[in-house]
Amino acid sequence: MAKPDPATTPRFWRDPQLPFVEARDVLDGRQLCYAQHSHEVFSIGAITRGRSTYLNEKARERIAAGTVVLMNPGEVHACNPIDGQPWSYRMFYVDVAWLTELQHQLGFSRNQPLRAFADILSHDPTLYRGLNRLYRLLIDEQADPLQKHCALLEFFGELQQRLNPAPVERREDNPRIRLAAELIRERCTEALKLEEICAAVGLSPSYLNRSFRRCYGMTPHAYLINSRVQFAQARLRRGGQIAEVALAAGFADQAHLQRTFKQLLAATPGQYRHTG
């Protein structure tokens, strides 16, 4: 059996001493395609070589090396290659509670939820260099965890200063739609029916489906599948066995998880579970 090509295999970094952040690096992304998806965490990345497309909510851009991309929690997005052209990138996924507390310590939005960002991308060379420098430090096995922690605080502190905050209310202010999303997240491992969700929030199927897509950028079903993949990610980070995680997350079997995981995250569960 041929060995996987390291250039095309996503590399994930995690450290139990720094549980609020994880990173991903791809040297050759020509064969890695993402379906539209979202994360519960804050995501920020750097295009390190080549060009790609970048979709974030309703904005679609062509981006190149030197670009920093940002996705607030819950924003539907996807980055994909352009006609097989080479491109490389690295991403950071940051826990919302940690980032919110950092904002509070810096004097932003004290006692308020996470202050989201208005920018979906940046060409600021300082941020670009800082993000790549941070990644090199994190993967350095000889570097001290304290040094890494301080570097994370320094970079994400500077990020707050250099980028614009988003308006306080970014999505449709409909508490019933938000309640539907919360219900889906909480019960994502179950075989939910649309009628159950509608009954719980007091909305018709047609209105819920239409308004949910407008609010979250995907249908309730797509949101359910996305939530299941995030559930699986959490279990895999804790060392769960792939077959057991698949069933616990609500997938029919390991193969079903494998297909869906790769479609949304352009990596297999096994690749995600492995670090280094």
Facing residues of 62 across strands?
A: 53
pLDDT digits (tens, 9 = 90+) for 209-262: 999 998 888 999 999 999 999 999 999 999 999 999 999 999 999 999 999 999
Q: How far apart are CA 266 and CA 276, in angstroms?
A: 17
Q: State residue 69 phi and psi, 5-degree precision.
A: -110, 145
The pLDDT assigned to 167 comes to 61
| Separation of first and last alpha carbons in the chain | 22
Is residue 35 within 8 Å of residue 78, measured between CB atoms?
A: yes
Is the pLDDT score of 14 beyond 70? Answer: yes
The pLDDT assigned to 172 comes to 53
The DSSP letter of residue 124 is -
- What is the pTM for the complete model shown? 0.89
175-273 is classed CATH 1.20.1250.20: no
The pLDDT assigned to 276 comes to 67
Q: Which residues contact 216 (CB under 8 A, 6 or more apart)?
A: 38, 74, 76, 171, 177, 181, 223
11-162 is classed CATH 3.40.50.150: no
Q: Where in the chain is the domain with CATH 1.10.10.60?
A: 175-273
Buried b (16+ CB within 10 A) or exposed e, 88-106: bbbbbbbbbebbbebbeee
Q: Where in the chain is the domain with CATH 2.60.120.10?
A: 11-162
Which residue would you say has higher pLDDT here, 256 or 57? 256
pLDDT digits (tens, 9 = 90+) for 142-168: 999 999 999 999 999 999 989 877 665
Is residue 224 within 8 Å of residue 185, measured between CB atoms?
A: no
User: At which residue do the structure tokens 């209105």 appear?
Assistant: 207
